[in-house]
């Protein structure tokens, strides 16, 4: 097998595309031949030793992928060689094969393309858990999505629209704003050129958004939270800008608003049945055409460093996928 190996977590430059021995599935594991993997922001952090999870060295990065089961370990039930699956394993995906604990493998319905499957689990699960479960978003409410053209952002646009909400998508360039409107956003704000607060006031007739979805953090957070509607819910999803904001708590009091933490990975571990039910719902929505991963570019697995540089350069709309040919 071949894999991008991280022996020294100092960034993309230290990754090496290496020949390694074939993986042998242990009890309860599947060996999956990887056809496609996608990049998620934590992939960028983990190879720089900046993520909360620090795998023992050396490790193969790659949170999420899809492929074909090649071999199954002792005790595995419900999977056989030839089955197609997607998996979110946290590491191992930037390779030609990976070991997957059977409970983490999601069987793919016939005809589900590997590229879509590899770009599905993390972004849609995070955004559904955030908007529907944590914020209890209602039809007719207004949602502000920051970093709306990113991976979780584009999923959030589609999920909020599927739930009947009005979507204000905010992003850093006019081109990203245009793509967000094409994806269904009702209105957009370019937060590089405009004032987030003034534009939100104008777009909501002074009320403010009911729900704010924030995967960016940094200095956008306080301006957004100051604009939230009465009884608003502010979803703390991530800090792609790199800075964890500190918010004055009097703002929560003044608006009767809630600050709501979102940690999909922990939710999936602590509440596996609710997570499985949610994944089933998302599978139905995909089959009905309500949601579809926005894939910016598909690159060969060997071009992973290029994919990482596009992601860190904020040059991506939706998801980057790398494939084994
Ligand atoms: N809480 C959870 O359960 C959970 C699950 C998955 C991901 N996350 C978090 O959500 C965040 C987004 O993840 P993602 O996979 O959607 O990433 P992504 O596709 O790279 O999107 C991140 C967006 O953040 C904006 N951004 C602002 N400053 C940035 C900077 N300095 N570098 C990079 N992007 C910047 C960019 O939009 P503009 O250029 O338009 O500003 C970009 O589109 C990450 O912090 C990730 O860790 C959280």
pLDDT digits (tens, 9 = 90+) for 139-188: 999 999 999 999 999 999 999 999 999 999 999 999 999 999 999 999 99
Cα(214) to centroid(ligand 1), Å:
9
User: Do 43 and 138 share a structural domain?
Assistant: no
Given this model, what pLDDT does residue 231 score?
Answer: 98
User: Do 130 and 16 share a structural domain?
Assistant: no
pLDDT digits (tens, 9 = 90+) for 286-301: 999 999 999 999 999 9
**CATH number (domain holding residue 153):** 3.40.50.720
Shortest-distance atom of ligand 1 to CA 261: 1
User: Do 94 and 11 share a structural domain?
Assistant: yes
User: Do 245 and 133 share a structural domain?
Assistant: yes
Question: Residue 270 domain-assigned?
Answer: no
Structure tokens at 166: 């009005």
Q: How confident is the model at residue 320 (pLDDT cuts 50, 70, 90)?
A: very high
Number of neighbouring beta carbons within 10 Å of residue 317? 24
> What's the mean pLDDT in 91-107?
97
Tell me which of 241, 263, 285 is where a domain ends. 263
Shortest-distance atom of ligand 1 to CA 216: 24
**Alpha-carbon torsion angle 280, 281, 287, 290, nearest 10:** -150
User: Do 203 and 78 share a structural domain?
Assistant: no
User: Do 184 and 72 share a structural domain?
Assistant: no
Question: Residue 89 domain-assigned?
Answer: yes
User: Do 188 and 251 share a structural domain?
Assistant: yes
Cα(152) to centroid(ligand 1), Å:
7
User: Do 52 and 13 share a structural domain?
Assistant: yes
Alpha carbons within 13 A on the beta-carbon side of 96: 12
User: Do 29 and 83 share a structural domain?
Assistant: yes
Name the percent of the chain in helix, strand, coil, to the closest 5.
35, 25, 40
How many domains, the chain?
Answer: 2
Question: Residue 10 domain-assigned?
Answer: yes
Shortest-distance atom of ligand 1 to CA 173: 40
Shortest-distance atom of ligand 1 to CA 242: 31
Pocket of ligand 1, beta carbon within 6 A? 40-42, 122, 126, 147, 149-153, 171-172, 176, 215-216, 237-242, 262-265, 311, 314, 316
Tell me which of 263, 282, 312 is where a domain ends. 263
User: Do 195 and 108 share a structural domain?
Assistant: no
pTM of the full structure: 0.97
Cα(304) to centroid(ligand 1), Å:
18
User: Do 209 and 308 share a structural domain?
Assistant: no
Rounded distance between C-alpha atoms, residue 252 and residue 267, angstroms: 25
User: Do 148 and 91 share a structural domain?
Assistant: no
User: What is the extent of the structural domain holding 69?
Assistant: 2-120+293-323
The 3-state DSSP class for residue 19 equals strand
| CB neighbour burial string for 29-68, b if at least 16 within 10 angstroms, e if fewer | bbbbbbbbbbbbbbbbbbbeeebeeeeeeebbbbbbbbbb
């Amino acid at each position: 097998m071949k894999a991008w190996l991280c022996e020294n977590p100092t960034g993309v430059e230290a990754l090496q595309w290496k020949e390694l021995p074939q993986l042998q599935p242990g009890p309860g594991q599947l060996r999956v031949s990887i056809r496609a993997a996608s990049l998620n922001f934590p992939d960028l952090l983990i190879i720089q030793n900046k993520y909360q999870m620090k795998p023992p060295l050396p490790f193969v990065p790659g949170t999420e992928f899809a492929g074909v089961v090649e071999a199954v370990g002792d005790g595995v039930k419900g999977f056989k060689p030839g089955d197609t699956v997607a998996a979110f394993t946290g590491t191992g995906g930037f390779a030609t094969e990976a070991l997957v604990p059977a409970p983490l493998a999601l069987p793919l319905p016939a005809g589900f393309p590997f590229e879509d499957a590899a770009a599905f689990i993390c972004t849609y699960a995070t955004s559904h858990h955030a908007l529907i479960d944590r914020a209890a978003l209602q039809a007719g409410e207004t949602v502000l999505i920051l970093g709306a053209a990113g991976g979780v952002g584009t999923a959030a646009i589609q999920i909020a629209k599927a739930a009947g909400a009005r979507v204000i998508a905010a992003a850093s360039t006019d081109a990203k704003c245009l793509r967000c409107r094409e994806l269904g956003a009702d209105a957009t704000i370019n937060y590089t050129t405009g004032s987030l607060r003034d534009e939100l006031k104008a777009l909501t007739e002074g009320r403010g958004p009911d729900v704010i979805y924030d995967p960016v953090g940094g200095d956008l957070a306080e301006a957004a939270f100051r604009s939230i509607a009465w009884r608003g819910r502010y979803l703390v999803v991530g800090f792609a800008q790199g800075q964890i904001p500190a918010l004055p708590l009097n703002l929560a009091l003044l608006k009767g608003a809630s600050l709501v933490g979102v940690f999909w990975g922990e939710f999936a571990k602590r509440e596996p049945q609710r997570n499985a039910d949610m994944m089933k719902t998302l599978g139905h929505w995909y089959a009905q055409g309500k949601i579809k991963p926005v894939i910016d570019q598909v690159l060969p697995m060997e071009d992973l460093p290029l994919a990482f540089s596009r992601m860190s350069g904020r040059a991506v709309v939706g998801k980057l996928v790398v494939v084994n040919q």
